[in-house]
């Protein structure tokens, strides 16, 4: 379906910068007002309860998703990126942002024609034997047309939305001002690096609209799976590709979430579920280069049962040092060592170090004790990620985009696998990979005693060799003021407490003398009631004074 150009305000030719500024700030101020009202108990008829708060958050999350869709491409992508930041928002908002799909109006064929001819330097008839004017798919950043080359090959031509870079520049300029406001906000800015999040969003957005980069990603992804014929990746036609036009091999397939169609085609749904999980585990653990957005729209199945991957604009990469820290995290989880897990997560940047890491360590220990009692294959990725996000929200956890992309992809693939095969277990597929990693990391499965002895020796040697570095790091932190030292002197504290007690006893004695003198004078002048009150007060203070003197005497005998 081709929508009219004015279906959304941002898609109009005469849409001004001032109007854009007004629309964006109206959304932000409405959102902040909603957050403020939700915290007030008087806004809940009949009294506030946790169920009412949750229902209000869900209602507001739906409104946020719809408003982001109306605001257009920039905010659709920002919303999708924020769906990976469970450390910033409650789970109700994250769950709703995950549903944010690119259901936006297509642009006209005339605009498509102008962009292709401008980018490739030739007319449509010179480039293609046939070009379908109606797009087969439309998204926030572009749309796809089916075409046929003069050589007879059928291709899919992805064309970037007109005026997208200009819209990005306007929106990101406005968002920078909003980010600075949030950073300086007394509540929202505390403990959060909004400027860093803004920079990360800018980087991902600019990379995703660079179609040459997407083409290189597709080539890399295809090379990684060249030894596996059950994975298909569309080939890039570089002669027909530019920064705003990407021409790929047309590889049709059945959407992997269309379970009835797969069944009708005679495909093995259980095998597809396992292959989907295995393909992603290979991307993550073997290649270090993975698809960061494997939702069902980007994954299909060919008639021969091969998996087809689409859309390589958002990819993730795991560096070697990150893999090493992930290995340490894995070993810490296997040994239920919360200290090692915390240390590795700090190195990964997943936890912001604080003066007191005790609460964080206890939270992780609770999670380890809760989950590791279950068999590995019976654990659920979705349940683990939900608990992680619940712990992370409003805590010093700061999950990097790579980590949250991986967890979200695992959860998505687990959901697709359950749809294909109700008995599917993502952890069961992952178990051989985990065993291989553990075996490579801990040596062969030989003599248990020797393995344990070797492990203990390796741990002692690692600790000994790492001691100088740890001392140097500690001294550096002391110089920077990152560590606070508390020095106690028992003898000094004892003397100070003794002096404090002596001072109190002196004050009590002075007040007792004053009360005694007052009672005597009042009695001489026949003010009997007032004299009695002063005498009672003096007697009570005398008892307190005697107890203080006795405590001083005992304290001196003890020390």
Residues annotated as catalytic (active site), given as ranges: 293
Mode of pairing for the β-strands spanning 154-160 and 254-255: unpaired
How many Cα atoms within 13 Å fall on the side-chain side of residue 376? 12
Query: What does residue 87 show for φ and ψ, rounded to 5 degrees?
Result: -80, -10
Residue of 395, 345, 386 lying closest to 367 (CA atoms)? 386
The 10 Å Cβ neighbour count of residue 55 is 13
Give me the long-range contacts of 425-428 (CB less than 8 A, separation at least 24).
Answer: 425/377, 425/378, 426/277, 426/380, 426/381, 427/376, 427/377, 427/378, 427/379, 427/380, 427/381, 428/377
What span, in angstroms and rounded, lies between the C-alpha atoms of 235 and 218?
8
Rounded distance between C-alpha atoms, residue 515 and residue 267, angstroms: 99
305: left (phi over 0), alpha (psi -120 to 50) or beta: left
Residue with tokens 């064929």: 109
CA distances in angstroms from 382 to 112, 248, 409, 504, listed in the order given: 41, 34, 10, 62
Q: Which one, of 247, 250, 267, 249, lies nearest residue 258 by Cα? A: 267
């Amino acid at each position: 379906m081709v929508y009219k150009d004015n279906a959304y305000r941002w898609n109009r030719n005469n849409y001004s910068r001032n109007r854009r500024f007004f629309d964006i700030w109206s959304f932000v101020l409405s959102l902040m007002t909603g957050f403020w009202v939700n915290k007030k108990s008087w806004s809940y008829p009949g009294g506030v309860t946790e169920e009412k708060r949750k229902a209000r958050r869900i209602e507001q999350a739906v409104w946020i998703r719809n408003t982001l869709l109306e605001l257009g491409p920039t905010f659709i992508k920002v919303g999708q990126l924020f769906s990976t930041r469970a450390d910033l928002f409650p789970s109700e908002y994250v769950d709703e942002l995950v549903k944010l799909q690119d259901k936006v109006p297509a642009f006209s064929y005339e605009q498509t024609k102008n962009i292709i001819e401008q980018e490739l330097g030739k007319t449509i008839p010179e480039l293609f034997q046939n070009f379908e004017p109606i797009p087969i798919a439309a998204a926030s950043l572009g749309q796809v047309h089916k075409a046929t080359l003069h050589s007879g090959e059928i291709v899919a031509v992805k064309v970037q939305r007109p005026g997208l870079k200009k819209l990005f520049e306007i929106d990101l300029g406005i968002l920078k001002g909003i980010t600075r406001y949030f950073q300086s906000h007394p509540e929202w800015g505390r403990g959060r690096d909004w400027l860093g999040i803004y920079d990360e969003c800018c980087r991902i957005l600019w990379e995703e609209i660079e179609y040459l980069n997407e083409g290189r990603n597709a080539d890399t992804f295809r090379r990684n799976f060249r030894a596996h014929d059950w994975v298909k990746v569309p080939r890039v036609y570089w002669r027909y590709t530019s920064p705003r036009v990407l021409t790929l091999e047309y590889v049709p397939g059945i959407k992997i979430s269309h379970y009835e169609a797969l069944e009708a085609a005679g495909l093995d749904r259980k095998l597809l579920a396992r292959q989907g999980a295995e393909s992603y585990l290979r991307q993550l653990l073997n290649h270090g280069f993975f698809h960061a957005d494997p939702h069902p729209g980007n994954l299909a199945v060919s008639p021969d049962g091969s998996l087809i991957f689409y859309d390589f604009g958002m990819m993730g990469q795991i560096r070697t040092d990150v893999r090493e820290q992930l290995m340490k995290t894995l070993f810490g989880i296997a040994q239920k060592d919360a200290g090692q897990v915390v240390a590795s997560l700090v190195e990964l940047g997943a936890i912001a170090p604080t003066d007191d890491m005790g609460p964080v360590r206890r939270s992780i220990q609770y999670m380890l004790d809760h989950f590791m009692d279950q068999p590995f294959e019976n654990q659920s990725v979705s349940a683990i990620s939900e608990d992680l996000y619940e712990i992370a929200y409003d805590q010093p956890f700061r999950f990097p985009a790579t980590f949250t992309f991986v967890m979200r992809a695992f959860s998505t693939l687990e959901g697709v696998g359950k749809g294909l095969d109700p008995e599917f277990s993502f952890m069961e597929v992952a178990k051989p990979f985990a065993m291989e990693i553990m075996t490579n990391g801990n040596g062969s499965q030989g003599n248990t005693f020797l393995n344990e002895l070797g492990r203990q020796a390796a741990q002692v040697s690692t600790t000994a060799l790492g001691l100088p570095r740890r001392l140097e790091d500690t001294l550096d932190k002391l110089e920077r003021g990152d560590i606070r030292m508390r020095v106690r002197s028992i003898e000094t504290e004892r003397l100070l407490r003794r002096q404090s007690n002596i001072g109190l006893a002196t004050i009590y004695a002075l007040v007792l003398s004053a009360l005694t003198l007052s009672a005597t004078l009042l009695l001489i002048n026949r003010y009997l009631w007032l004299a009695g009150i002063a005498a009672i007060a003096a007697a009570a203070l005398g008892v307190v004074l005697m107890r203080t003197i006795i405590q001083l005497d005992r304290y001196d005998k003890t020390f």
